Amino acid sequence: MNPPLFFSLILAGFAAASESGKPSIATSARQAVSDLRTTLSLDGIWQVAEGTADAPPTSFERTMQVPGLVAHAEPAFEADGMASRRQTTFWLRRTFTQPEPLSAVALLRIGQALYGFKVRINGRPAAENTSGQAPSRFDVRPFLKPGLNEICIAVNTMPGFSPEGKRDWGEEHGNIVPPPKVPVGWDFEKDNFIPGITDSVELVTAGSPFVRLTQVVPDIQQPAATVHVWLQGVPAGKSPVTVRVSEWKSGKAVGETLVHAEGDAQGNAHVIARVDISNGKLWAPEAPFLYTACVTTSNDSHTTRFGLRTFTFDPQSRRAILNGKPYFMRGTNYCLQRFMDDPKICQHLPWDKSWVRGLHQKGKAMQWNTIRYCIGLMPQFWYDIADEEGFLIQNEYPLWTLEQPLENSINGSVEALARDYRAMLEAHWNHPSVVIWDACNESNHRESGEAIKRVRDLDLSNRPWDNGWNEPQRPTDSVEAHPYYFSEAKGHAWLGGLADANRNADAGRANMKAPPCVIVNEYGWLWINRDGSPTTLTYPIFKRILGDANSAAKNRHLYALFQATETEFWRHARTAAAVMEFCSLGYCHLGVGMTSDHFLENNGVKNLELEPEFLKHVGDAFAPVGVMIQYWKPEMTAGKTLPLSISLINDLEKPWSGKLTLRFIREGASVAEFTRPAELTPQGAALVAFEAVAVPASPGDYQLVAAIEGADAKPVQSVREITIVAAKTAP
């Protein structure tokens, strides 16, 4: 794309994003000040009150934390703190001080506000966003004054609720308010849709020329970084722009370039600076090395962080290609907006940086390198943590319609989607962790594809897009598959169905014209609540498999083993570019919730305590050097001899060799053991045959366990629970 056209698209995106008492609030606010730019954080305690969509209330009786949810207001709006099930508007208010004279530029940034918002500054309408799902920036200088200023932000409840709080499930609720044609983050499995400002609010002031936007395009071969800079307020003539690249942690400068900007008639300019990086280090989940690019003009300075990283999908091998090499993606899903559906549990955890970092570190303990931020974008600092901890992020916009066309749904129009997709790109394209733009979840319609076409060329790194169940637009795009085979499970014997399952992961793309790269980013259908009970979707399955003997312990055991088995199945098939289980962060609504996550009850979420059997068995199933027993039947015959095959895979770029052990275990004791040497080439796979395995002679319940010493010298196991039955005698 040529720079003038690209710049015009960026400016159009910025314009589209700019639609336009009692407790006292301290006017002080945290400030991050460079020599030339000031960022005033408006996070903290705000006043909050219920009002109308057109105007703030005359008095404010409550306070709440920003970022945060209205359900956390003090005192609560309702006895249960859930002021979300009525068609209403909540207004948040605070004051702040602006020095004199006012800077040439003043931008208000609102990271996310559910579900749509309006802004008033000093009593005047200043900005509006009917979605609120993606980061927004607004020029608010005309509304500011030196000294004390007042800002009010209105957030709305989710459109589509009746006054009685019923969801928009169809014609049986004739009194439901018709939803607008804007994307608002609908989720068929949520209940509460609690409004709030769920990311930071900041006021950025600076002089001109002002650095409006930057995009860093890494070159891993040189290595170098090409930094695109979009400026406003550029005076006549040539204005110097300096771009300095430094190591993030050490602060050591590694390269610098001086370029000159020449503004157009409106004072806008687009400059490109290429900075060579001496001894550059690549970014990868195993070594997440980061750099900063500091762009400085005569009256502004802006720093962004990036990594030397490239990512694409190879349509021939159907593999992810990270930094020019095949890469196996193993991971999970974080559904933050679903987690916020339960305000008593989530509290302020989504905005607690130490908790969020710990959450991602738990992912490392599970041997994951990939996360889908699912049905909703995250607060900005989540992406910073993913950059630092080392994860590949599938960044999913909150659009979920199944087979419904958007024009008849709650989710929006092409124009509204393109506006939000553009904002998503601009906010996140410098994060090395973000490798896939995800337009929607489980949807089959034309509108998201049309919106993608309008914005995808803005990403100069050309990341792939995932567009739900829609036809991929480019050979390097992906499609999601959600093979929920366990939804029809009849008993333990159903594990045998995996042997005949579609190993090409064709679920969700049967009508695709071309075989795209497939991401299996949901599977299982065996969710249990944090107390070990089944969810509303899985109760019939546990009933069929365990009968009346089910208990929390048995449910947890079955879930862990079956989820581990299916994880092994998809990983060892080697036909999907990514295998990502669902999900590691969600809600838990006893008696009404459809899914859940893997934490324990009580303080398990706050303390990040994963259910131990899940941690063990599913963690082993995701080991980079993995093992899988190629046996799917629930029974063996006592005293027989049979062949067994064990599959081994290696995700790593180094070879592996070791001992493979196969054991029959009964009541915790090994009763038979067989060993073979094994080895794997880098990123290789092998099938190790045990030609004559003697089945124990005593009938009973056993575990068949295949074990290796993994890449980190820790044991990795594959487990099948087998009933050994007595041989039938001839009549």
| pLDDT 10s digits, 333-345 | 999 999 999 899 9
Hey, what are 437's tokens?
Answer: 């733009």
Structural contact between residues 388 and 290, judged by C-beta atoms closer than 8 angstroms: yes
- How many CB atoms sit inside 10 A of residue 457's CB? 12
Three-point CA angle 483, 486, 488, nearest 5°: 105
User: What pLDDT, on a 0 to 100 scale, did the predictor assign at position 88?
Assistant: 81
The residue-averaged pLDDT of 502-506 equals 45
180 band by pLDDT with thresholds 50, 70 and 90? low
Structural contact between residues 455 and 421, judged by C-beta atoms closer than 8 angstroms: yes
248 band by pLDDT with thresholds 50, 70 and 90? very high
3-state secondary structure of 510: coil
Query: What is the dotted CATH code of the domain comprising 3-157+193-204?
Result: 2.60.120.260
pLDDT at 71 over 80: yes
The residue-averaged pLDDT of 566-593 equals 93
User: What pLDDT, on a 0 to 100 scale, did the predictor assign at position 513?
Assistant: 52
User: What pLDDT, on a 0 to 100 scale, did the predictor assign at position 471?
Assistant: 83
Closest CA to 42 of 7, 92, 116: 92
Return the bridge partners of 139, or none: 107
Query: What are the start-end ranges of the E strands in 433-559?
Result: 434-443, 465-467, 478-481, 517-520
pLDDT at 166 over 60: no
Fold of 324-622: TIM Barrel (3.20.20)
Q: Show Cβ contacts of residue 510 under 8 Å, excluding neighbours closer than 6 positions.
A: none
How far apart, in Å, are the Cα atoms of 102 and each of 35, 143, 252, 388?
16, 11, 34, 36
Three-point CA angle 483, 488, 489, nearest 5°: 105
- Could you identify the residue written with the tokens 């070594």? 287
490 band by pLDDT with thresholds 50, 70 and 90? low
User: What pLDDT, on a 0 to 100 scale, did the predictor assign at position 672?
Assistant: 95
User: What pLDDT, on a 0 to 100 scale, did the predictor assign at position 401?
Assistant: 86
**Is the N-terminal amide bond of 99 cis, ω within 30° of 0?**
no
Closest CA to 535 of 585, 593, 487: 593
Q: Rounded to whole angstroms, how far apart are CA atoms 395 and 372?
A: 6
Closest CA to 421 of 74, 615, 72, 133: 133
Closest CA to 379 of 214, 196, 227, 519: 196
Superfamily of domain 208-309: Immunoglobulins (2.60.40.10)
pLDDT at 329 over 90: yes
Domain boundaries, the chain: 3-157+193-204, 208-309, 324-622, 626-725
Provide the edge-to-edge strand list for the sheet that holds 68-69. Answer: 68-69, 196-197, 113-114
Query: What is the dotted CATH code of the domain comprising 626-725?
Result: 2.60.40.10
Query: What are the start-end ranges of the E strands in 263-369?
Result: 269-276, 283-284, 287-288, 291-296, 301-306, 311-314, 319-322, 325-327, 329-334
Structural contact between residues 574 and 318, judged by C-beta atoms closer than 8 angstroms: no
Which of 32-46, 452-466, 540-554 tops mean pLDDT?
452-466
Hey, what are 149's tokens?
Answer: 């200023």
pLDDT at 16 over 50: no
Structural contact between residues 473 and 512, judged by C-beta atoms closer than 8 angstroms: no
User: What pLDDT, on a 0 to 100 scale, did the predictor assign at position 548?
Assistant: 82
Whether 3-157+193-204 shares its CATH topology with 626-725 is answered no
For residue 222, the 8-state DSSP code is T
Closest CA to 508 of 562, 566, 443: 443
Which of residues 191 and 242 earns the better pLDDT score? 242
Q: Rounded to whole angstroms, how far apart are CA atoms 365 and 610?
A: 10
Q: What is the DSSP string of 153-185?
A: EEEEPPTT--TT-----STT-TTPPPPPSS---
249 band by pLDDT with thresholds 50, 70 and 90? very high
User: What pLDDT, on a 0 to 100 scale, did the predictor assign at position 695?
Assistant: 96
Structural contact between residues 525 and 537, judged by C-beta atoms closer than 8 angstroms: yes
